[in-house]
Amino acid sequence: MSMTFEHTTLGQRVLFGTGQAAEHLTAELDRLGATRPMVIAGERVQAEAWSATAGITAALWWDEVVMHVPVEVAEKARTAATEASVDVVVSIGGGSTTGLAKAIALTTGIPVVAVPTTYAGSEATNVWGLTEDRTKTTGVDDKVLPVTVVYDAELSKTLPLGMSVTSGLNGMAHCVDSLWAPRTDPINQALALEGARALALSLRGIVADPDDMDAREQALYGCYLAAVSFAGAGSGLHHKICHVLGGTFDLPHAQTHATVLPYVLEFNAPAVPELAGRLATALGGETSAGDPAGAAVTALRELYTAVQAPCRLADYGFTADGIPEAVERIVAAAPASHPVPVTEQNITDLLTAALTGDRATVAA
């Protein structure tokens, strides 16, 4: 069968090494000729930030990091960066931290060097997101793609175990969504499937032994592949759902992605059996010639059981009262190329299932 597609590979430098964050960050700022870095690090990762920046002197240290990047926070940070004559932004933390750095880059053009401490993957995409008036808006702009990513598994050691799981499953959602997102192609799918394999193994390893540095390295490797595939494939239904739940209802980012993922997979998988079968294999499940969709869903559910992943949006404050507004917003944002036609009824069913943890209500 012939293949016809267009694929763009984003230009980015990756420096990977456990215990080498400070060394790599110092060398990278020297390479860039940057002398006035703005360091963004939230309160939870101050110790990691001081360790990673041991070889540099910050012109500005910023610790106001807010989930979903409210516009007003972005504006404050942009103004501060300009007033301090910053020539590079160093983000140390998870997706919210990277998102704020991207918001600064979007309007100022200041380059970003990302030092992730979670498995969010935002550091490897040219996608930005800002929230205003209960609406999260995303866009694509190469200015926001970090010029360099510094990965150091040591920096993830203080991430609480539950957050390690939900953050890793957020990365898994990038993989699964990339299999059928609007711009997907065979390269994105290959990256996504390898990312899913690495994340499935690494999350089991981290839960079994939080000090397993090999597993933590594999998790960073997997989340990077997940994000690269997502950057190429674009945002599918899963991400549209989670952007609404996060931006409009202020649900926590990683936990929401982790909770919603199995329901979206169960919704989509029957329409893409070949991809579902490959995903089942990547997740370590038993493939089934007769029911590849079921095999993929079962493999993901088995992973969720093994790592004690969340399964109910109700646990994060979402209620049935919010479903009608969420459905309206999701249906309006859903990609036209989605494998299963999106309707108010099937999205209502999906959200109801995700709210209560009841798989029986999911039906395309």
Q: pLDDT (tens digit, 9 = 90+) per residue, 180-228?
A: 999 999 999 999 999 999 999 999 999 999 999 999 999 999 999 999 9
> Where residue 70 sits, what CATH number does that domain have?
3.40.50.1970
Residues 181, 89, single domain; the answer is no
Write down the residue that tokens 């209560």 correspond to.
356
Residues 267, 348, single domain; the answer is yes
Q: State the average pLDDT over residues 98-102.
A: 97
Domain boundary among 122, 156, 190: 156
| Closest by Cα among 2, 4, 11, 1 to 232 | 11
Helix (H, G, I), strand (E, B) or coil at 179: coil
Percent of the residues in the chain that have a pLDDT greater than 90, as a whole number: 91
Domain boundary among 114, 141, 156: 156
User: Which secondary structure element, helix H or strand E, spans residue 40, and what is its range?
Assistant: strand 37-40
Residues 171, 99, single domain; the answer is no
Domain boundary among 129, 156, 183: 156
Q: In the prediction, which pLDDT does 105 show?
A: 98
Residues 222, 304, single domain; the answer is yes
Torsion region of 160: left, alpha or beta (phi above 0 gives left; psi -120 to 50 gives alpha):
beta
Based on the structure, what is the number of domains in the chain? 2
**Would 5 be classed as within a structural domain?**
no
**Would 89 be classed as within a structural domain?**
yes
Residues 136, 187, single domain; the answer is no
Q: State the average pLDDT over residues 52-72.
A: 96
361 has pLDDT over 70: no
Structure-block tokens of residue 179 = 């299999």
**Would 198 be classed as within a structural domain?**
yes
**Would 4 be classed as within a structural domain?**
no
Q: In the prediction, which pLDDT does 360 show?
A: 54
Q: Where does the pLDDT of residue 230 fall: very low under 50, low under 70, confident under 90, or very high at 90 and above?
A: very high
Residues 215, 348, single domain; the answer is yes
User: Which secondary structure element, helix H or strand E, spans residue 88, and what is its range?
Assistant: strand 88-93
Percent of the residues in the chain that have a pLDDT greater than 70, as a whole number: 98
Residues 125, 168, single domain; the answer is no
Write down the residue that tokens 């910053």 correspond to.
86
CA separation for the pair 6, 119 (Å, rounded): 28
**Would 125 be classed as within a structural domain?**
yes
Residues 356, 232, single domain; the answer is yes
- Identity of the residue numbered 321: D
Q: In the prediction, which pLDDT does 257 show?
A: 96
| Closest by Cα among 238, 243, 279, 241 to 261 | 238
pLDDT higher at 136 or 283? 283
Q: Domain of residue 290: give its range.
A: 161-361
Q: In the prediction, which pLDDT does 320 show?
A: 97
Q: State the average pLDDT over residues 266-286.
A: 95
Q: State the average pLDDT over residues 87-111.
A: 97
Q: In the prediction, which pLDDT does 337 show?
A: 86
Q: In the prediction, which pLDDT does 358 show?
A: 81
84 has pLDDT over 90: yes
Q: At how many degrees (to 10) do helices 161-178 and 253-268 cross?
A: 40
Residues 28, 168, single domain; the answer is no
pLDDT in tens, 297-350: 999 999 999 999 999 999 999 999 999 999 999 999 999 888 999 999 999 999
Q: State the average pLDDT over residues 22-50.
A: 97
* Model confidence, pTM: 0.93
For the ranges 40-54, 127-141, 214-228, which has the lowest average pLDDT? 127-141
Residues 240, 328, single domain; the answer is yes
359 has pLDDT over 90: no
Is the separation of the CB atoms in 128 and 106 below 8 Å? yes
Helix (H, G, I), strand (E, B) or coil at 212: coil
| Closest by Cα among 86, 38, 45 to 62 | 38
Q: In the prediction, which pLDDT does 136 show?
A: 87
Q: In the prediction, which pLDDT does 3 show?
A: 86
289 has pLDDT over 90: no
| Closest by Cα among 247, 264, 270, 274 to 329 | 247
Backbone angles phi, psi at 289, to 5 degrees: -65, -30
Q: State the average pLDDT over residues 216-241.
A: 96
Residues 39, 138, single domain; the answer is yes
Q: Count Cα atoms within 13 angstroms, Cβ side, for 278.
A: 16
**Would 3 be classed as within a structural domain?**
no
Q: What is the DSSP letter of 53?
A: T
Q: In the prediction, which pLDDT does 362 show?
A: 53
**Would 323 be classed as within a structural domain?**
yes
> Where residue 240 sits, what CATH number does that domain have?
1.20.1090.10
Residues 150, 292, single domain; the answer is no
**Would 2 be classed as within a structural domain?**
no
